Chains A and B, each alone.
Chain A
Amino acid sequence: MLRTFPVGGVHPQENKITAVSPVQVLPVPSSVAIPLSQHIGTPAAVIVNKGDKVKTGQKIAESRGFVSSNIHSSVSGKINRIDSVIDTTGYKQTAVFIDTEGDEWMETIDRSDEIVTDIKLTSEEIIKRCLESGIVGLGGATFPSHVKLTVPAGKKCDVLIINGVECEPYLTSDHRLMLERGEEVLIGVSIIMKALKVNRAMIGIENNKKDAAGHLTKLAGAFNGISVHELKVKYPQGAEKQLIKALINREVPSGKLPLDVNCVVHNVGTAFAVYEAVQKNKPLIERVVTITGKSLSNPGNFLVRTGTPVIRLIEAAGGLPEDTGKIISGGPMMGKALSSLDVPIVKGTSGIILLPRDESVRSEIKACIRCAKCVSACPLGLEPFLLMTLSEKGLFERAEHERITDCMECGSCSFTCPAGRPLLDYIRLGKSNVIKMARERLVKQ
């Protein structure tokens, strides 16, 4: 029996159309818009001015505070303006607009193809390098990596978990990365192990990616303490808490972090970015993005510079299909629907999915028949039907008591509801109200 998390979960149609498409390099776009907030935490502070010339890999915005991240230019050229841009969330934020001139890289960056295996940096230097290079979690949450590499006093970490699950349908960027850059990923894992001072790392991969798991298992023989584990295909296994439960059977308590059960989770994409930062001195300025959809003529995986408008990627994949009804950044379960084609690709963009019109409209909302399918689907043991009703009726105290803030918004409940009820929409509403209430309580005290 393959391992998986025990409670809840769903199995959406996988649709991994691009699993066999090797990563291609997307040509450098003629202009980019690089947002100052591509991570969770405080937005970076811009350190360049309009008209400045920048090189590829040059720092253009500096992290402010502990939970923040540096931003680097992904192209070489002239700063056109510093202006607002609509990002993946649909809100406006400040971005640095750069007109590309050639592709001149910073001299400090090692651009050779040679794989550097020797890890020369010390633990502290690794953490500093990750901060300097603007490394953030590439699984989607974009949490600044240097924070997760620093084990606070009083906590300990005995195992590093590497997330190669990629449980969202359609997405294949991590899959291709593991297959094509397996060795670099494993060196990245070793670097993270050194930073955390742990001697054991477990890589979890769902068994719809047998080739990637096999490849990494073969390579892992040459590395100390790294093991690869195949997992049963089940969404949301890529969620941190579910992956920890599946791999080492530890349950992260509600409201706590993986470190509270002595482990740390990083994504395979992050491990690769850490490799490039530490061994090649290359900041995070490009990533693998899956561009996919059933009607696209040329779906695939592309290495894309941050700040590239989504439309450039769609053009490379054969152009916007006539029947497009929805454009999603991220996976279809947790991704964000885009309102514009000029939205820039950022550090956290794992894929762009084009859904045909007939798949992008929700079905009619019917009466709840109390079938309890949402209860069995919830990986956190919550009762979505109840949380929806409480939120709908404005009973937020009770919703808080029913642990609405535990919800990680994986969408399994809405996915599974036979009556087409928008469970997660209402749970989000309830959650935001409960969080607001909790803040007000804190202020009063």
Chain B
Amino acid sequence: MSNLINVSPSPHTYGKETTRKLMFGVVIALLPALFTSIFYFGYSAIIVTSASVISCLLFEYLIQRFIFKKPISITDGSALVTGLLLAFNVPSNLPVFIIIIGSFVSIAIAKMTFGGLGNNPFNPALVGRVFMLISFPVQMTSWPVPAGFGTGYTDAVTGATPLAIIKEGLKNGESISQLVTQIPTPAQMFLGDMGGSVGEVAAVALLIGFIYMLVRKIITWHIPVSVAGSLVIFTTILWLINPEKNADPLFHLLAGGVLLGAIFMATDYVTSPMNPKAMIIYGCGIGILTVVIRIWGAYPEGVSFAILIMNAFVPLMNAYLKPKRFGEEVKNG
């Protein structure tokens, strides 16, 4: 056997990237946000995150083992990423049983029903999150206020998110200049010192993850920049029209889940478009829908819904928005 040589078609050399390396790259990019959330929300952030990750991995394992009856691929890191992102999208004091239900919806319904990794049309973590938000609205919207590492899991002081404060205030006829004293300063929001989901609060940590993923070439800039850019442009226009009724663009960018969504959720490989032109349109769609939901919708926050809605357009975009072919002849007339 030892003197046999292989014969196969070219290429004969391959890049170093693998699915697992890419997924674990995303995990590394999520670590700064995980550490800041532990810093702000205490060990409850650890409980929520572990519960989510363990149950996501378990559900994927059980389905592959007993229903698919195919080789187990939970070590590829995709369920780990889903678990982390799901935890990052919920309040840190969420009861564990709700997280387990959310994980089940994410993995079993949103991912495995369609055939597993690579086949799901909607972002699994967001499907799980929205399911929990609709089914357990009270638990999903009582946000612990950052109180440091010593905070207990159940005795945390809860409060509204900055977005909810603005939404409620405006509904009650208050103006932005009156409300501004009740919300954190941009610096506080940038560092994550505000109420919110486990992983969404610290802009700085998310941006570190973004830079890491860009350098590692895990994602390209197109989706995050077009989400953030379109959101800023749209909110700037509204703010210039009436600064008393509309919050400033910096507030919209830093409050809530825009950065988490733009950097980590909208860029999910499986559910985002596959060429730069479509990526930019998809990103702008998310940015604009987020603002529409925040300002005119029933919920104070709309990133999750915006991404899920745009997910639905991805097959259409892949079919009709094509990359520019080399040497494509320009049709005259």
What is the CA–CA distance of A61 and B42 in the complex, to the nearest angstrom? 84
The reply to whether B13 and A339 form a contact with Cβ atoms under 8 Å apart is no
Q: Which of B21, B323, B326 contacts A418 (CB 8 A)?
A: B21
Decide if B160 is an interface residue (CB 8 Å cutoff). no
Decide if A360 is an interface residue (CB 8 Å cutoff). yes
What is the CA–CA distance of A425 and B11 in the complex, to the nearest angstrom? 9
Q: Which of A325, A359, A375 contacts B275 (CB 8 A)?
A: A375
Q: Which of B2, B272, B326 contacts A7 (CB 8 A)?
A: B326
A406-B325 contact, Cβ under 8 Å, with A326-B6, A424-B11: yes
Decide if B155 is an interface residue (CB 8 Å cutoff). no
Residues of A within 8 A of B322 (CB): 383
Which of A24-32, A190-198, A211-219, A246-254 binds B? Answer: A246-254
Number of chain A residues close to chain B: CB under 8 A: 66
Mark contacts of A345-359 with chain B using CB atoms, 8 A cut-off: 1 yes-contact digit, 0 otherwise: 000000001010001
A368-B17 contact, Cβ under 8 Å, with A7-B324, A380-B326, A385-B274: no
User: A90-148: which have CB < 8 Å to B?
Assistant: 90
The reply to whether B118 and A380 form a contact with Cβ atoms under 8 Å apart is no
Decide if B173 is an interface residue (CB 8 Å cutoff). no
The reply to whether A382 and B325 form a contact with Cβ atoms under 8 Å apart is yes
A403-B6 contact, Cβ under 8 Å, with A372-B269, A372-B275: no
Decide if A41 is an interface residue (CB 8 Å cutoff). no
Residues of B within 8 A of A16 (CB): none
For residue B4, which residue of chain A has the nearest CB?
A325
Mark contacts of B308-328 with chain A using CB atoms, 8 A cut-off: 1 yes-contact digit, 0 otherwise: 000000000010001111111
Kindly state the interface size class of chain B when it binds its partner: 35 or more
The prevalent SS among residues of B at the interface is loop
B68 to nearest A CB, angstroms? 12
Residues of A within 8 A of B276 (CB): 376
Decide if A156 is an interface residue (CB 8 Å cutoff). no
Residues of B within 8 A of A406 (CB): 325-327
The reply to whether B327 and A355 form a contact with Cβ atoms under 8 Å apart is no
What is the CA–CA distance of A335 and B270 in the complex, to the nearest angstrom? 33
For residue A357, which residue of chain B has the nearest CB?
B6
Residues of A within 8 A of B220 (CB): 376
Residues of A within 8 A of B273 (CB): 372
What is the CA–CA distance of A414 and B9 in the complex, to the nearest angstrom? 11
The reply to whether A372 and B19 form a contact with Cβ atoms under 8 Å apart is no
For residue B276, which residue of chain A has the nearest CB?
A376
The reply to whether B19 and A424 form a contact with Cβ atoms under 8 Å apart is no
What is the CA–CA distance of A338 and B9 in the complex, to the nearest angstrom? 10
The reply to whether B7 and A337 form a contact with Cβ atoms under 8 Å apart is yes
Residues of A within 8 A of B10 (CB): 332-337, 409, 411, 424
For residue A254, which residue of chain B has the nearest CB?
B327
Residues of A within 8 A of B11 (CB): 332-334, 411, 414-415, 424
User: A407-422: which have CB < 8 Å to B?
Assistant: 409, 411, 414-420
What is the CA–CA distance of A271 and B12 in the complex, to the nearest angstrom? 29
The reply to whether A326 and B76 form a contact with Cβ atoms under 8 Å apart is no
The reply to whether B270 and A360 form a contact with Cβ atoms under 8 Å apart is no
For residue A15, which residue of chain B has the nearest CB?
B13
For residue A325, which residue of chain B has the nearest CB?
B6
What is the CA–CA distance of A90 and B10 in the complex, to the nearest angstrom? 13
Decide if A381 is an interface residue (CB 8 Å cutoff). yes
What is the CA–CA distance of A424 and B14 in the complex, to the nearest angstrom? 12
What is the CA–CA distance of A409 and B270 in the complex, to the nearest angstrom? 26
Task: Supply 16 further A-B pairs (C-beta < 8 A) apart from A241-B327, A333-B13, A372-B269.
Answer: A12-B15, A245-B326, A253-B328, A325-B6, A335-B12, A337-B8, A361-B6, A369-B117, A371-B22, A378-B323, A381-B328, A383-B275, A415-B14, A418-B18, A419-B19, A424-B11
24 A-B residue pairs with CB within 8 Å: A7-B324, A12-B15, A254-B326, A332-B12, A333-B13, A335-B10, A337-B6, A337-B9, A360-B5, A363-B14, A366-B76, A367-B116, A369-B117, A369-B118, A372-B275, A375-B274, A376-B220, A376-B276, A381-B326, A403-B325, A406-B326, A415-B15, A417-B15, A418-B19
**In the A-B complex, the 5 residue pairs with the closest CB atoms:** A411-B11, A372-B274, A367-B118, A332-B13, A380-B326
